[in-house]
Each structure stands twice: as C-alpha cells, then as structure tokens.
Structure 1
Amino acid sequence: MAACAFRRSIAGQLSKVLDLPPENLIKSISAVPVSRKRHDADFQLSIASIEEGRSSDCLAQDLQLRAQKLAEKLKCDAVVSEISTGPGTVNFTINRELLAKTVLQQVLKDGTQYGTKSELFSTMPKQKTVVEFSSPNIAKKFHIGHLRSTIIGLLGVGFQQFGDKEKLKSSPLQHLFEVYVQINKAAADENTKKLAQDFFRKLEEHDEQALSLWKEFRDFSIKEYTRIYKRLGVHFDEYSGESFYQEKSREVLKMLEDKGLLQKTTKGTGVVDLSEKKDLSSLSTVIRSDGTSLYITRDLAAAIDRMNKYNWDTMIYVTDRNQSSHFQHLFRILKLMGYDWVDRCQHVSFGLVQGMKTRKGEVIFLEDVLDEVRSRMLENMASAKTTKEVEDPVETAEKVGLAALIIQDFRGLLSSDYQFNWDRALQSRGDTGVFLQYTHARLHSLEQTHGNEPVTDVNVACLQEPGAISVLQHLLRYDEVLYRSSQDLQPKHIVSYLLTLSHLAAVAHRSLPVKGSTPAVAQARLCLFQATRSVLANGMKLLGITPVTRM
C-alpha cells in the first residue's frame, strides 16, 4: 500500500525520537482529508493518541506545545519534504513526485485489492463470518422495507379460504399478497385467529396436508425471491429460514429445561427469567401456551446449529432497529445457556425509509420500486443531451437506478430513518449514485478514447497541479476508510469517500485535459484518471453497485 510505505517511513523517524516501537505508531498516523479551501499536508500524527497515559486536562493545556516540540526534533528527508504543526498534531508533507509515483504504481499494481492489502488490516486475523439478513418468510411479497430487510408471514388458512392454484403458479407472491390482505381483514374474527393458530400448530406437528401446502408456498417464494435478489446483485450461500429450525427448537426447549432456565407461567407459557436478581422482573417468552414455538426459540436453535455447522468467528444479524429488544433477549438467553461465543454475535440495526411512493400508488413493494427507478432512469437518459448510445439501455438504467437507491440508503447512519425523494436520488449531479455511475462512465470513455492499455511508465513531474495532488491525496486515504467501515460496519464512510473522489475527479477532468497536451503530460494524466476509475469501481462494488461503462 502506498499509504503504508509512507506511514512506515514517518513511524520510523518518530520511533527514534519518542522511543516507541514503530508498529505502535502506525495507527496514530492518518492521511489528512482533502480540503478544497486550503492546501493540506498528506499525513498527521495526533499527539493525544500517543499521550494516552496523561490526563485530559493536562493534554488540553499543552497539546499544541508538545506538537511543536516534537516537530522541532524531526527532520525532513527523502520521503518527507515538510513538517508543520496543527491543533495538537504534527503534519507531514510527502515529496510530491514520490507521492505521485508511489500512489499510482500501487493502485495499478494492486488492482481490485488496493486498500485491502493495507497493514491496517494485518492485525485482523482471517475469520469466518456468518451474516443473516433479508429474512423473508414464506409467501410475503417484498415491501420497500425489504430493500433493507424482508418481513415474515404465513398464509395457510388464508390460502385455504381464498387461494387459487392457477394464480399461485402464474404470479405466486402477488396472489399470496392478495390472499394475505383478505385474511388480514378476516383476522378480526376470533374463529379465524384460532384457525391460523391451529394451522401453525399442525405445521410444527408435521401434519402432512399443512406441510405440503407450506412447502409449495416455500418453493414458489424462494424462486421469486431469487429472481428479485438477482436484480439486486445478491446471492446467498444458503437459504434456511427460521421455519427450518422448528424441530430443533424442541431440543432447545429441552436444554433450557435441563439447565433449570425454563419456567411456566400461570397462563401456561414457557419463559426464561432474564433479570439480574432473578426476581422475574424481565422475562422472555420462548413457548406459547399451546406448545408452539416462537421466533426467539427458533433463533436460539439457528444460532446453535450454525455454530455447530460452520464454527464461525462472528455472526452478524442485520434487521430493523425495532428488533433490538429481540436480539438483546436472544443473546442473553444464549449466555445463560453457557454459550460464551454469543459475545461474538452482533446486531446491526437500521432505520426506516419514509415518504416513498411510486406512480402506481401508496403500497410499495421492492419490485415496484426497482421497476420505477429503472423507468425513471430510462426517461432521464432519453432526455439528457450527454447520453451516449448504449447496447442495452434497460440494463444500464437498472444498474444506474440501483446505484441511486443504494447511495440514498447508505449515505447516513444505518440506524437512522430517512426521507426518500425520487428527484434528489436520481440527480446526475450532486451526492448521488447516478453521479458516481456518470463519473465512472466518463473516466472509462476517456481511457477508451486514448487507448485502453494500462499506463505504467509516466513522468510524475507532470502531475504537480493542485487538482492532481488533491486526487492523489484522496487515493491515499482509501485503506483508512475501508478499515473504519470494517470496524463499525457502517457503509457511509465508503459512500462519502467515493462521492468526494468523484467530485475531485470532475474538477481534475476539467482542469487537466488529456487531449491536446504533450505526450508526457497526456500519459501522466491518463494514468491518474485510470487509477481514479479503478478505486472508484472497487468502492462501488463493495457497496453492491455494478459500475457502468456508458450512460
């Protein structure tokens, strides 16, 4: 990694002055975010990060002085051309030609692995992670909320009353949704509720007729889900819904009973006492009074089974934040059962999408949204003066539209709700997925126009303009951004980085023309734009976006 080489060099000099091992300093040296308003150094050392033993009051008083004293003991060398201080930081400017040469060589050499080969990740052992997300239950159409997850429903009784076998074959999820709406209206009737409970109990008891109908729903549902997942670019290694664990949940209940954790209430439900003082002030119900299991019972069985099957290092559950309490209970029960590996389980919660409407109306299904965004993008492409002829306009519109949805979704904290706006999401300028795709296509076109071969041997003295330096400085930060996202599991850091990269590329594209420049300058600039497009494509793919080459 280019940034790694520079960090190591800076750490080497600092270690001699501070009498600390260089490896202890690496993570305290960070690339400086690019600012349009002023010229910045390339790296900075935070004095606070190496003064952890001191009180914060003491640090507040003399942080700047310590930075100045440390800077005075350091010297410029073949790597560092300037040393300065900021508020509690020592700043390092890298030799400009060395900066350009090292960054460009590293980006083009590492290709898709640029950023991930950084030593920032070297202390992170290779691990096996199980991620559970988008858990649709049988026969429930994708709602817009399923862009972030999917919801649960079972329609046995409804289909017996309102179902149509032919409609089920031709349009399974649409028909089952219609059945769901009808049975929901009827659910106010106590008799209907009882029938639904009986159907579920029959399923758990492996009643042949109930099981046959459920399997039919499941097969049709998975086929439809797979088709829609494909549009999202999502592939699952395993489809194993919570219903798969109905039988194993019996084993879990037996384990809870054997460990003295299962208690019966006066109503006949089975509960686990989660309170610290064991005073029943906090309970989690794990079995209904009729003996049927609950979500949490099956989730307990699933967690245990997946550990036995995969021996994972980390398991991550991705669901909306309304389920936070459910996962707190789940993890607490697993801990009480003696499974210490539960400490390596994590719930990543997300907020809700608000205000989304399609032209069809208020009820929003994900497939309607995907169709809508593709339709709107086709219209925008048809009316835009800059649109190039593309081989498959529909496919291009689908990819660009999906990028718009993903960037809109990932721009903020995952746990935050956000207001969706079609016009804002589909703008070709500004902080949007459309702008990322447009920038990538534009840079790809530039490469095609001037020869599609990777440029390697360039005169880096030709890349000293402010626009070029800003792009190079930003490319330096890529590994830190990836590392940060890997730590807090928030994609917003990558989104922000890519949007800034696209804006910097747009400025550089205007101020650093390839066409009409001397061969040496043209080659150097082309190499800069190739490196930019490569990192842009890498980051987009991490977010689930397929970069387009024409639009």
Structure 2
Amino acid sequence: MACFFRRRIAEKLGRTLKQPEDAFIPALSAVPVFKKQKTADFKLSVSTLRTEGILPSSGDIQLQTENLATQLKQDSVVEHISADCGVINFTVNRKLLVQKILEPLGKQEGEKFGLDSELFSTLKRGTTLVEYSSPNIAKKFHAGHLRSTIIGNFIANLKQSLGNNVIRMNYLGDWGMQFGFLGAGFGQFGCQEKLKQNPLQHLFEVYVRVNKEAEHNEDMKQAARDFFRQLEQHESQAVSLWQQFREITVKEYHHVYKRLGVHFDIYSGESDHQDQAQKVVEQLQSQGLMKTSEKGTGVVDLSPDGDMSSVCTVLRSDGTTLYITRDLAAAIDRKHKYHFDEMIYVTDKSQANHFHQLFQILLAMGHSWADRCRHVPFGLVQGMKTRTGEVVFLEDVLDEARARMLDNMSQSKTTKEMDDPEGTAEKVGISALIVQDFKGPLHTDYKFDWDRMLQAQGDTGVFLQYTHARLCSLKRRNEGIESSTLDPSLLLEQTSISILQHLLRYDEVLYQSAQDLQPKHLVNFLLKLCHLVASAHRELPVKGSRQDLAKARLQLFSSACSVLANGMRILGITPVDKM
C-alpha cells in the first residue's frame, strides 16, 4: 500500500532533517509510469522543502539535493536513493512492493484500497450537501442537464467514499415566471388527454407555443404575469394545475435517473422557499442591505465602494421574488435543516456570476458559513444530436447510445453470449457518455462525437468496460486456482511492476480529485491502468503457465480488476462482467 512506503520514507527524512515525519507525507508523490521504462517509485521535490522552510531557501538547489540524498541511508524497505534536477528519487524493495499492494487487494477490504491513506488526514470530513441535476419542471429532461447530473453524482460518490456524510439534493426549477407562461398557455393550448398520453412532450409543445405567442401579444404576457401572481398568492386553481405539472414531471425524471444509476436523498424546489423568500426580503430591508432602484425594484449594492456600480436585483417592482431571492432562502433553510459543513452547487458556467452574488449577499447578511459554499461550473456540450437530428432530450440520447452500442456489440467477433444484451449495451453506452464528458477540464466546452465516444479501442468508456469484462472473464476461466499465499518473487518482471507502480498513485489521484472536484484525474488514471493491463495480458499468460506462476499472475489481474471497478463506481459507471 502506498501509505506504508510513504510513511517509511517520511520517517527517514524526519530523522535526517530533525523534523516531524508528517511534514513530508504530502511532499512525497508516486512517480508516473512510462510503458516499458524502469522508474523510481516515489519522488520528493527539494524546492517544496525550501518553500516550507524545512531547508534553507538560498544556495544551489542541485547541491542541496545531492547532499540530502547522500545523508539518507538505504534499508530493507528503500533499496535505492538518487538525486536528479532538484528531485530525490526513492526505489522500494520489489518483493515488498508486490506484497504490500496485492495482499490487501486480495482480501475482503479490497473495496477500501487507497481510501485509508494518510493523505486524506488533511481533508475536512463532515456533512456535504451536493445540489445537482436541477431540471425545470414541465420541460423535458434536456441533454444539457446530463452534465450537471453526472458531475454531481461523481462529486457525491467521491465525497462519500472519502468518509463524508453526503446529502444528494435535486433542486427543481418549479417556480418563477415560466410557470406564469405555462399556466396561461395551458388555458389556451393545453389538452388534459394529451397530458395523460405523453405528459412532458405536451407541456413542452405548450411552452414553445405560448412563448412564440407572447413575442407579439402583450395580452399573453399580461396573462402570464397574472397567473404567476395567482401562484404566489396561493390561489387554489392555479396551485392545483401547477401541482399536476410538478407531479407528472418528477415521475418522468425518476425513470431517467434510474437508467443513469443516479439517486437523490431529497427532491426540493424553488416553490418550497417562496414564503421564506419574502422573509429574506424583510431581513435585507431591516439590515439596510436592500435599496429601491429608480425602476421600483429591490436591489442589493455589491460594489466594493458602495456606489451602486454593481447591484443585484432581489425583488421585482410588482413585489414578486426572483430566482436569487429563493436561492438565498433555500441556502439559509438548508443550513438550518441539515447543518452542512460544505455545500456544492453543480451548474453550467453561465451561472458563475449568480453564485458569486449569492455567496456575497449571504456573507453580507452575516452568514459566515457561505465561505464553505462552492460552485462547480461546467462548459457546454456542442453538436449533441441524434440520428433524427431533432431537439435533443436526454431519453433520446440514452436510447441512441444503447442502440448504437448494441449494434457495435452484434458486429464484434469478441462479444460473449449474455443474458441481457440490451442491459449491457445500456450500461456500456452510459459509460461512454460519462468518460467522453469527464476526460477534460469540466469548465471547457466539448464537441460531442458519437463515433469516437463508442470506439472499443482508444481512451473511451467502452475500453474501460471491455478491460473490466476481460479481467472478469479471466477470473471465471481460472476459478479455483487463486491462492491465499502469494510468492512475490514470481511478479518481478517490468510489466507486473509497472501495474503495481501505477496502483501506488491511486490515493493521490483521489486526493487531487477531492481538492479540485475534477473527474479527469480518475478517468485518466483508469484508462492508463487499462493500457498497462492490456500489455500484461499479452505478456503474462495465466493459462499454460505452471501453477504457482498462474496463481501469482491471476492475483495481479484480480487486483487490477478490483481497483478498476472501484474507480468506475466513483465515476458513476456500473462495471459489466461480460461484453
């Protein structure tokens, strides 16, 4: 296990430099693996020790590096120490490397591999509330919501795996002026029969039609304003129609989330906070934070000099609340109800200014916990179309991913007989969607590409699933030969060592992901593991090898399979056993 070696090297450094060993744990990192090349296992940057004040910050850094390297003595754990360009490299005992990584992975606690690392001791545990997905009621679940859903699910999974108590919240857009339009529009263009047959499609059609009408019809705009005011005043007819829209939509969403393998602990919505939003307005007034603009709207001055050069509107001139007013009420209510230690919002980057203003107003109101609220922004998906080329709804994308994957599987010579080919195609198709989305930085836009996404070769979700299924097949074919006792001397070829060295990085990758909440670190780690496994599969046959060698190699492949499955689950991918 990486933490065993990191601790031993840190002890050595602590003794030599007369410092607490914990000071060196975060400074030591596993060396990235390059195919077929022998590398050291851990490295330490001397400039980090200079920055931390452990070593003098003046003088020749290379000389300092060489001096420190010569003071550090080799032992039964650390076999080789070298200095190079301001970095000290440590190579550990090869048999010990095999033993310390494969033994825990061969036991029941394999699922916890890498999660007990000392690197995580600096992370704050506690309750994390993640708000994600958050589609708008009465509109079909658009493909644009896919990013928020899968990114939020990844963050929730990661935080949970690291020991946080996670609350998964879906904050529905179920209030606001769009319901004025929908309510007024349904009165004119709606049909209860069509609503029963295909609810979201019909509501979508009504919404498009009423918006088109309102572009040149002032009466329609006024009817929409009137309907929303009736909602805010709890008039029974308006509320009853709105409730019908909400219940229908949530039921439809449940089906999509089930397909994606996503669940929520709480379904909340803007409507839950309409009354509290008025109280927030009163608080802002009593604290002297809200002023009335020339247009009669209620605004909060956020300019650094208090000159009204940057304001945020929190109340319309007719006295109705806005999205940000309800978000303020929701944040205060959540803190009171769930006592979270951190709250993470996952929305597209166009809302960055909204959250900046939200956190600023909360702090101005005296809520110091707003410092522990965070917005994770993401870019847009470009060119996501189905074969029919229509407006893309998420169900259409999932259907198409499954259909294309099923088609690919039926044409592949390596496809295995399976009980549920459609279910497998669905899981693999969703893996492909997730990996294509997660490979780069979240804030960048990316171009959606069906063909590249569904390739079995290359860095795709299909390749991850294919590797996992292949390792499961290897285990099935060699059932009964796995051994509880491992002879480490049988796994000393560079191909085996490269896999083990790569597994040393797993805790660092999770740590890095926890810092910046970016899934790309874990995706790229798993893809690299798959490439290393593919090489080993060719070079280290299990079948036909003598029994002790076959057992050792199978243990290596089983361990890689275990880490691959663990990492995939954190990403929100369900591993398949056959493909």
CA distance in 1, matches of 2:390, 2:193: 27
Q: Which residue does the alignment assign to 1:122? A: 121
Contact 2:35 2:532 in 1 (8 A): no
Can you list the C-alpha shifts for 1:231-270, whole angstroms capped at 9, x where unaligned?
Answer: 1111000001112111110111111111011111121111
Can you list the C-alpha shifts for 1:27-68, whole angstroms capped at 9, x where unaligned?
Answer: 111111111263110011111111115799966x72222211
Q: Which residue does the alignment assign to 2:327? A: 299
Matches within 5 A, 1:128-207: 128-149=127-148, 152=173, 153-154=178-179, 155-188=182-215, 189-207=217-235
Q: Which residue does the alignment assign to 1:19? A: 18
From 346, 353, 366, the equivalent of 1:318 is 346
Report the RMSD for the aligned CA atoms in angstroms.
1.6
Q: Which residue does the alignment assign to 1:80? A: 78
From 102, 105, 110, the equivalent of 2:103 is 105
Contact 1:100 1:460 in 2 (8 A): yes
Matches within 5 A, 1:22-33: 22-33=21-32
Contact 2:120 2:511 in 1 (8 A): yes
Q: CA deviation at 1:149?
A: 3.3
Can you list the C-alpha shifts for 1:296-350, whole angstroms capped at 9, x where unaligned?
Answer: 0000000000000001000000000000010111011101100000000000000
Q: CA deviation at 1:454?
A: 5.6
Q: Which residue does the alignment assign to 1:457? A: 485
Counterpart amino acid of residue 201 in structure 2 = Q
Query: Which has the larger displacement, 435-444 or 360-369?
Result: 360-369
Counterpart amino acid of residue 135 in structure 1 = S
Q: Which residue does the alignment assign to 1:70? A: 68
Contact 1:173 1:221 in 2 (8 A): yes
Can you list the C-alpha shifts for 1:481-526, whole angstroms capped at 9, x where unaligned?
Answer: 0011001100110000000001101111110000000111100000
Query: Which has the larger displacement, 152-161 or 483-492?
Result: 152-161
Query: Which has the larger displacement, 316-325 or 62-71?
Result: 62-71
Counterpart amino acid of residue 38 in structure 2 = H
Q: Which residue does the alignment assign to 1:468? A: 496
Can you list the C-alpha shifts for 1:141-192, whole angstroms capped at 9, x where unaligned?
Answer: 1111111138955321221111111221222111111112211211202221
Q: CA deviation at 1:275?
A: 1.1
Q: Which residue does the alignment assign to 1:483? A: 511
Q: Which residue does the alignment assign to 1:223? A: 251
**What TM-score, normalized to structure 2?**
0.93
Secondary structure class of the residue paired with 1:143:
coil
CA distance in 1, matches of 2:127, 2:378: 23
Distance 1:53 1:521, change over 3 A: closer
Contact 1:263 1:270 in 2 (8 A): yes
Counterpart amino acid of residue 258 in structure 1 = S
CA distance in 2, matches of 1:543, 1:378: 23
Contact 1:439 1:502 in 2 (8 A): yes
Contact 2:119 2:508 in 1 (8 A): yes
CA distance in 1, matches of 2:422, 2:380: 29
From 252, 258, 262, the equivalent of 1:234 is 262
Contact 1:454 1:530 in 2 (8 A): no
CA distance in 1, matches of 2:576, 2:105: 20
Distance 1:53 1:239, change over 3 A: closer
CA distance in 1, matches of 2:480, 2:357: 56
Secondary structure class of the residue paired with 1:284:
strand
Counterpart amino acid of residue 142 in structure 2 = H
Q: Which residue does the alignment assign to 1:539? A: 567
Q: Which residue does the alignment assign to 2:285? A: 257
Contact 2:481 2:551 in 1 (8 A): no
Q: Which residue does the alignment assign to 1:52? A: 51
Q: CA deviation at 1:453?
A: 7.5
Q: CA deviation at 1:87?
A: 2.1
CA distance in 2, matches of 1:82, 1:477: 19
Identity of aligned residues (%): 59
From 366, 381, 386, the equivalent of 1:353 is 381
Counterpart amino acid of residue 161 in structure 1 = Q
Matches within 5 A, 1:412-423: 412-423=440-451
Distance 1:57 1:290, change over 3 A: farther
Gaps of 5+ in 1: none
Can you list the C-alpha shifts for 1:321-380, whole angstroms capped at 9, x where unaligned?
Answer: 000010111011101100000000000000000011111114111110000000000000
Can you list the C-alpha shifts for 1:444-502, whole angstroms capped at 9, x where unaligned?
Answer: 00000001686431211110111100000011110010011001100110000000001
Gaps of 5+ in 2: 150-171
Can you list the C-alpha shifts for 1:383-408, whole angstroms capped at 9, x where unaligned?
Answer: 00000011101100000000000000
Counterpart amino acid of residue 497 in structure 1 = F
Counterpart amino acid of residue 103 in structure 2 = Q
Query: Which has the larger displacement, 94-103 or 241-250?
Result: 241-250
CA distance in 2, matches of 1:442, 1:164: 52
Secondary structure class of the residue paired with 1:148:
helix
